[in-house]
Amino acid sequence: MTVRLVILAAILVWLASAASADTARVVYIGVEGDPHYEPRPVYTGLSLKDRKRPLEGARLAFAGTRILERATGVRFELQELLLDDASRVPEAVRSALQADALAVLLDLPEEPMRAVLEQGGKGLLFNIRHIADRWRGPDCTAAMLHTQPSRSMLADALAQHLRYRGWTKILLLAGDSQEDRDESEAVRRSAEKFGLQLVAERKFALTNDPRRRDFSNMALLTGPPEHDVIWLVDADGEFGRYVPHATYYARPVVGSEGLQATAWHWTWERHGAPQLNQRFRRLAGREMEPGDWAAWAAARAVIEAVSQTRSVEPSAIADAVRADDFALDLYKGVRGSFRKWDGQLRQPILLATHNAVIGLAPLDGFEHRFHTLDSLGVDEPESRCTK
Amino acid sequence: MRLCGFLAGFCVVAVPTALAQGSGVAIVANERSNTLTVLSPDHTVIGQVDSCARPRGMHFSANRDEFFVACADDDQIAVYETATRTLLRRIRNVPAPETFDLHPDGRRLIVSNEEDATASVYDVQTGELLAEYETGEEPEGVQATADGRLVFVASEAANLVHVIDLEKDEVIADILVDTRPRRFALSPDGKELWVSAELAGMVNIIDVGTLQLSADIRFLPTGFRPEQVTPVDLMITADGSRAYVALGRANHVAVVDVQRREVLRYILVGKRAWGLELSADEKVLYVANGLSDDVTVIDTGTLEAVTTIPVGRVPYDVLIDDR
């Protein structure tokens, strides 16, 4: 049940009412009217990149607990809270944790997210939305874990694939939004990390102005110098969708179009993924998106910790989830655990086109001194998270 | 072998002289090419049978005249004649069967229904659904005890082993095990149940008397990281001395001293080794390698791979007609 409550007092009563000695409770908190989930129609009203609230991902994890209840005697419960007023989010998080919720899944815009982090305190918080590295870096907090891969992990996965294929000369074609600039920075870091060469870096613009054709003419944008692959950075997507098959050289496009790095894909066919996708399809009537997977993984982490420890004590669960030997089945073939230094879920990354998974990173041959999965993203020595 | 006259309407039942020896052929279910590959005793491909959608687990009938194939993608169990590999009948409306075990009574087939979180019991003669039990998500391995009283079902997603008491007609215990339990092997004395925990890289041992975990065995072939070791199928020899465990992505089969709970040897096989089958004399071990589309044959005397035979796409399970 999703509760939309306007009066904070009512929220607090509702959150506290569910507290019980043998209940394992996880609270999802989102904001009503969140622009992130507003439709994003493009020209002529087409819907290409609309996002779905990942509630069904969390619900799917809880839908599978009935038999676990029989086995453990613990009742599992997901409380879903959509707040009208984003400024009330920190208080709602505090109330949930005070009422012994084992974890709070945060599906929040940046501002309330920042407010929650500034509030500090103990407890288990999951970022199930943001891929930005700063939440795992300078803006990190000890209470926060992340089940979405970071931008660095996604860029590293794609860079590994290019390295593996020997496509080492890259043309970086990027937009100029803040998100595109962050993404371009991640591409540069990954290229350096895996020995790829950025032979040219070009900005594009959505314009037909002949005086600005350097930024819009596809032949000029994708022409010499010679390159093996075009790495496209376009979070908006309106320019990028016209790039593949329209380039000066016959070169593949990766990044925002073509081959993309992603936490999850609806066609992933190994490691039990067809069953997870099928269960999600039955529950939600649509395909499982990376956001759904991140919400599912966060909820599953808590459920798994309860089942391993047979406890519903919040600090015991928080410790179990963060333990080095924590083993979460990610349906990506390798057990998942959380990095000590920044709370990031270690996970393989899928490299997928619109209808097939082409590779799974870390690819063969990319090693790490402790954990192969840590060849993706920000490693301990480089981490800027100090909390 | 049975020969039936087309027009005369009679049948001649010919009893093979080498009774209960079988033909020695091995049958491999290829889940991605929807075929069965037939291998001769000298390890060459002698036939390929178009099967059903996503054939996975297989099992012989009690007298071994027939064998059953779980067809995961078209919700049925196909029943074949062993001697000819021709389709005899189908048990229909079995939701997404993955694998199964035959009850010692030879009549009841206990099936894990991967997408429905149930274990169901069918009459292999009539195809009738006799019973159904709730399991955790993604039930996989099924194992009936020799006395026929208990059935164990592993739930991959819930990390549980369910214990079904068929006489009481209920699930009497749910045992928490390590991450992603897949398959079972029972010790010949029936006292120990081994279950592979795929993502934990180990085998959990359950004491059948108390239904409690009693020990673990971990695996780590040289040159591999723990996370690459993903055990699936396992077998214990008839004398209870030795076990074989297919280590999945670690591309090896582990040979285990059962009493000492020690790994004696790791044998290199193909990619993502899952399915195992021992010949009747236990001198030969077949290994289905899911990601290299082949079957490795191991000499259990020397503990070395003898040959590797290309089969269909994504081989899952092997049966040997040699008893």
Which structure tokens are listed for A219? 């032949």
Picking from B115, B158, B249, the nearest residue to A278 by CB comes out as B115
Is B178 part of the contact surface with chain A (CB cutoff 8 Å)?
A: yes
CA dihedral A267, A268, A272, A275 (to 10 degrees): -20
Whether residue A64 and residue B137 make contact (CB cut-off 8 A), yes or no, is yes
**Cis upstream peptide for A225 (omega within 30°):** yes
Confidence of residue B15 (pLDDT cuts 50, 70, 90): very low
Instruction: Summarize pLDDT for B44-75 with one digit per residue, the tens.
Output: 999 999 999 999 999 999 999 999 999 999 99
Mean pLDDT, to the nearest integer, of B29-42? Answer: 96
Q: Which residues pair with A29 in a beta bridge?
A: A81, A106
C-beta atoms surrounding A370 within 10 Å: 9
CB B159 within 8 A of CB B200: no
Superfamily in which the A152-262 domain is placed by CATH: Response regulator (3.40.50.2300)
Pick the residue from chain B with its C-alpha nearest to A368.
B225
- Residue A4's pLDDT is 59
Stretch (H or E) spanning B284? strand B284-289
Contacts of A68 in chain B (CB under 8 A): 136, 158, 160
- Residue A7's pLDDT is 56
Contacts of B230 in chain A (CB under 8 A): 333
Question: What is the rounded distance in angstroms from the CA atom of residue B193 to the CA atom of residue B145?
Answer: 9
Tell me which residue has tokens 């290829």: B30
Q: Which residues, other chains included, contact A275 with Cβ-Cβ below 8 Å and sequence gap of 6+?
A: B114, B115, B137, B138, B157
Q: Assign residue B148 a region (left: φ > 0; alpha: ψ between -120 and 50; beta: otherwise).
A: left
Q: Assign residue A258 a region (left: φ > 0; alpha: ψ between -120 and 50; beta: otherwise).
A: left
Question: What is the rounded distance in angstroms from the CA atom of residue A348 to the CA atom of residue B228?
Answer: 12
Q: Which residues, other chains included, contact A282 with Cβ-Cβ below 8 Å and sequence gap of 6+?
A: none
Which structure tokens are listed for A353? 């086109």
Picking from B156, B157, B225, the nearest residue to A372 by CB comes out as B225
Instruction: Summarize pLDDT for B215-271 with one digit per residue, the tens.
Output: 999 999 999 988 889 999 999 999 999 999 999 999 999 999 999 999 999 999 999
Question: What is the rounded distance in angstroms from the CA atom of residue A202 to the CA atom of residue A239?
Answer: 13
Picking from B157, B162, B199, the nearest residue to A64 by CB comes out as B157
Which structure tokens are listed for A207? 């314009």
pLDDT at B19 over 50: no
Question: What is the rounded distance in angstroms from the CA atom of residue B306 to the CA atom of residue A61?
Answer: 45
Beta strand A197-203 with A169-174 is: parallel
CB B109 within 8 A of CB B98: no
Confidence of residue B7 (pLDDT cuts 50, 70, 90): very low
Q: Which residues, other chains included, contact B49 with Cβ-Cβ below 8 Å and sequence gap of 6+?
A: B35, B36, B38, B80, B85
- Residue B96's pLDDT is 87
Whether residue A275 and residue B137 make contact (CB cut-off 8 A), yes or no, is yes
In CATH terms, are A1-149+265-347 and A152-262 the same topology?
A: yes
Is A309 part of the contact surface with chain B (CB cutoff 8 Å)?
A: no
Mutation pick from A335, A367, A370 vs chain B, by most beta carbons of B within 10 Å, is A335
Q: Which residues of chain A have pLDDT under 70?
A: 1-21
Pick the residue from chain B with its C-alpha nearest to A346.
B227
Q: What is the largest CA-CA distance in chain B?
A: 65
Superfamily in which the A1-149+265-347 domain is placed by CATH: Response regulator (3.40.50.2300)
Q: Assign residue B207 a region (left: φ > 0; alpha: ψ between -120 and 50; beta: otherwise).
A: beta
- Residue A47's pLDDT is 79
Contacts of B134 in chain A (CB under 8 A): 66-67
Residue B144 amino acid letter: A
Question: In chain A, where are the structural domains located?
Answer: 1-149+265-347, 152-262
Tell me which residue has tokens 């971990």: B218
Phi, psi of B100 (to 5 degrees): -160, 170
- Residue B115's pLDDT is 83
Residue B36 amino acid letter: L
Question: What is the rounded distance in angstroms from the CA atom of residue A129 to the CA atom of residue A126?
Answer: 9
pLDDT at B4 over 70: no
Whether residue A272 and residue B200 make contact (CB cut-off 8 A), yes or no, is no
Mean pLDDT, to the nearest integer, of B11-34? Answer: 73
Pick the residue from chain B with its C-alpha nearest to A282.
B115
Instruction: Summarize pLDDT for B92-143 with one digit per residue, the tens.
Output: 999 889 899 999 999 999 999 988 899 999 999 999 999 999 999 999 999 9
Which structure tokens are listed for A248? 């000066």
- Residue B2's pLDDT is 47
Report the sign of the C-alpha dihedral through residues B60, B61, B65, B67, in that order.
Answer: negative
Calculate helix-pair angle for A89-98, A110-119, nearest 10 degrees. Answer: 50
% of chain B at pLDDT higher than 70: 94
How far CA B79 is from CA of B2, B58, B64, B126, B196, in Å, comes to: 16, 10, 12, 12, 28
- Residue A66's pLDDT is 87
Pick the residue from chain B with its C-alpha nearest to A364.
B228
b (16+ CB within 10 A) / e for A5-31: beeeeebbeebeebeeeeebbbbbbbb
Question: What is the rounded distance in angstroms from the CA atom of residue A168 to the CA atom of residue A195?
Answer: 8
- Residue A49's pLDDT is 80
Stretch (H or E) spanning A296? helix A290-309
Strand order in the sheet with A169-174: A197-203, A169-174, A229-233, A253-255
State whether residue A21 is helix, strand or coil. coil
- Residue length, chain B? 323
Q: Exposed, middle or buried by CB within 10 Å (0-12, 13-18, 19+), for B226?
A: middle
ipTM over 0.85: no
Beta strand A144-146 with A125-127 is: parallel
Question: What is the rounded distance in angstroms from the CA atom of residue B93 to the CA atom of residue B107?
Answer: 18
Stretch (H or E) spanning A328? strand A328-329
Contacts of A328 in chain B (CB under 8 A): 179
Residue A87 amino acid letter: S
Q: Exposed, middle or buried by CB within 10 Å (0-12, 13-18, 19+), for A149?
A: buried
Q: Which residues, other chains included, contact A379 with Cβ-Cβ below 8 Å and sequence gap of 6+?
A: A368
Mean pLDDT, to the nearest integer, of B299-322? Answer: 97
pLDDT at B6 over 80: no
Is A274 part of the contact surface with chain B (CB cutoff 8 Å)?
A: no
Question: What is the rounded distance in angstroms from the CA atom of residue A219 to the CA atom of residue A173?
Answer: 12
Mutation pick from B73, B164, B179, B292 vs chain A, by most beta carbons of A within 10 Å, is B179
CA distance to partner chain B, nearest, from residue A67 (Å)? 5
CA distance to partner chain B, nearest, from residue A18 (Å)? 24
Contacts 24+ apart (CB under 8 A), A139-142: A139/A114, A140/A342, A140/A343, A140/A385, A140/A386, A140/A387, A141/A117, A141/A387, A142/A343, A142/A387
Whether residue A71 and residue B225 make contact (CB cut-off 8 A), yes or no, is no
Picking from B176, B228, B230, the nearest residue to A307 by CB comes out as B176
Average pLDDT of chain B is: 92
